[in-house]
Amino acid sequence: QVQLVESGGGLVQTGGSLRLSCAASGRTEIRYTMAWFRQAPGKEREFVIGISWSGDNTNSADSVKGRFTISRDNAKNTVYLQMDSLEPVDTAVYYCAARLGYGSRWVPASRDEYGNWGQGTQVTVSS
């Protein structure tokens, strides 16, 4: 198991940027696939973007392509979500998730594939 703690959320205006971080602790020697999900009020939690353990493969939702970028620093056990050109529809609680991937390049979009979750961080985009 790995413990995940998100940070970096906040309030930003339309068109602005935010950078979220997710720090992992615990069994960090295991090769986890990492992803970000989000949940807006009254909606289901949805996949945003993910990255393989080696960082050589990513997967992202169509709604964030070209605006959001994911990266990771395995030496620091941290994954980052750079969010640019933010829109009010991006307002949600953002969750970091980890999946035991054994170094696989596959980055699934289904939340059922991820067994470890952080507590979430609020992102609010004002119009």
- Model confidence over 58-80: pLDDT tens digits? 999 999 999 999 999 999 999 99
Side chain identity, residue 40:
A
Written as one string, the DSSP assignment of 81-98 is EEE-S--GGG-EEEEEEE
Q: What is the pLDDT of residue 48?
A: 98
Among 13-17, 26-30, 39-43, 115-119, which stretch is predicted with the lowest mean pLDDT?
26-30
What percent of the chain stands above pLDDT 90? 89
Q: What is the pLDDT of residue 90?
A: 98
Does the pLDDT of residue 6 top 90, yes or no?
Answer: yes
pLDDT at 1 over 90: no
pLDDT at 41: 93
The amino acid at 4: L
Please provide the distance, in angstroms rounded to a whole number, between the alpha carbons at the two ends of the chain: 39
Amino acid at site 5: V
SS3 64: helix
- Distance of alpha carbon 13 from alpha carbon 37, whole angstroms: 21
**Is it the case that residue 29 has pLDDT exceeding 80?**
no
Among the residue ranges 25-29, 42-46, 112-116, the one predicted with the least confidence is 25-29
Q: In this model, does residue 119 exceed pLDDT 80?
A: yes
CB neighbourhood size of 75 (10 A): 6
**Inter-CA distances, 71 with 37, 42, 120, Å:** 15, 29, 18
Q: Residue 66 contacts by C-beta under 8 Å, 6 or more apart in sequence?
A: none
